A and B are shown apart, each in its own frame.
Chain A
Amino acid sequence: MAEMTIKKRPKNLDLTTIRLPLPGKVSILHRVSGAGLFLCFPLLLWLFSASLNSAETFAVFKGVFSTLPAKVILAGLIWAYIHHFCAGIRFLLLDLHVGIEKEAARKSAAVVFAVSIPLTLIFWGVLL
């Protein structure tokens, strides 16, 4: 039997030294934001339920927005939704082969942050 020679390729999986390009950052944050939203569904559905149930639970729902821990969590979730939305539209365009060249892809990744971060700040201002 012939000896299989496995070529040693340079491999770096050390998360502390990996420096992702901008599209890589958009991509991993897309995953992180999606996972965060999933984990917080019980909270979000509970809030949605309270807001619609009765005038009393609506007051509870509004009260939640004025506590600091809730504000921090909701601030994170608002960012997560907006980032996931903006990055998702970019991925749909890439699927349609729009902007798949390296330069265009880097530019559209920058656009995702340029849109999602100010939009997040606006929603924080309005909702929190």
Chain B
Amino acid sequence: MINRNVVGAHYGLKDWIAQRATAIIMALYTVIMGAVLLIVQPSTFEAWRGVFANGFIKFVTFIFFVSLFYHVWIGVRDIWMDYVKPTGLRLTLHVLTIAALVGYTAWAAAILWRL
């Protein structure tokens, strides 16, 4: 065990914690939604839509998507940092990743609130 004083702006620590917190939220959502779908067994369009039209499910599903996209940002950023050495290309990939994830968040919200 190494004891050291963590100095600086703590961005790394913040992301490390966020990656794990979002992972726990998504894991809980996966288990709860799995149980809901097993109980409801929605086999028709109306039943399937009904599950996600429920206010609570809609809310937690959106939280799931937001957690997912934050989690993905940290993970994909790490991949670019590990394998892409030219700074310009890496920064471009970072920006494209953020743009895609912000877009996906809006798309997920649009899907859910159309219901």
Q: Hey, which bits of chain B sit against chain A, CB under 8 A?
A: 20, 23-24, 27, 30, 45, 48-49, 52, 72, 75-76, 79, 100, 104, 107-108, 111, 114-115
A103 at the interface (CB under 8 A from B): no
Q: Are the CB atoms of A88 and B48 closer together than 8 Å?
A: no
Stretch from A3-11, A18-26, A41-49, A107-115 at the B interface: A41-49
For B53, the closest partner residue in chain A by CB is: A52
In the assembled complex, the CB of A86 is this many whole angstroms from the nearest CB of chain B, namely 10
Q: Are the CB atoms of A55 and B45 closer together than 8 Å?
A: yes
Q: Taking A52-B49, A58-B48, A85-B30 as contacts, is the C-beta distance between A45 and B107 under 8 angstroms?
A: yes
**What is the CA–CA distance of A102 and B106 in the complex, to the nearest angstrom?**
44
Q: Using a CB-CB cutoff of 8 Å, which residues 29-48 of chain A contact chain B?
A: 31, 34-35, 37-38, 41-42, 45, 48
Query: Which residue in B23, B27, B104, B111 is a CB contact (below 8 Å) of A52?
Result: B111
For B30, the closest partner residue in chain A by CB is: A85
Q: Taking A41-B104, A45-B104, A92-B23 as contacts, is the C-beta distance between A35 and B48 under 8 angstroms?
A: no
Query: Which residue in B48, B75, B107, B111 is a CB contact (below 8 Å) of A34?
Result: B75
Q: Taking A35-B79, A55-B45 as contacts, is the C-beta distance between A49 and B72 under 8 angstroms?
A: no
In the assembled complex, the CB of B26 is this many whole angstroms from the nearest CB of chain A, namely 8
Q: Are the CB atoms of A52 and B20 closer together than 8 Å?
A: no
Q: Are the CB atoms of A49 and B20 closer together than 8 Å?
A: no
Contacts of B48 in A (CB 8 A): 51-52, 58
Q: Are the CB atoms of A45 and B111 closer together than 8 Å?
A: yes
- Per-residue CB contact flags for chain A residues 85-123 toward chain B (1 = under 8 Å, else 0) read 100110010010000000000000000000000000000
**What is the CA–CA distance of A35 and B82 in the complex, to the nearest angstrom?**
13
Contacts of A49 in B (CB 8 A): 107, 111
In the assembled complex, the CB of A58 is this many whole angstroms from the nearest CB of chain B, namely 4
Contacts of A37 in B (CB 8 A): 72
**What is the CA–CA distance of A59 and B111 in the complex, to the nearest angstrom?**
17
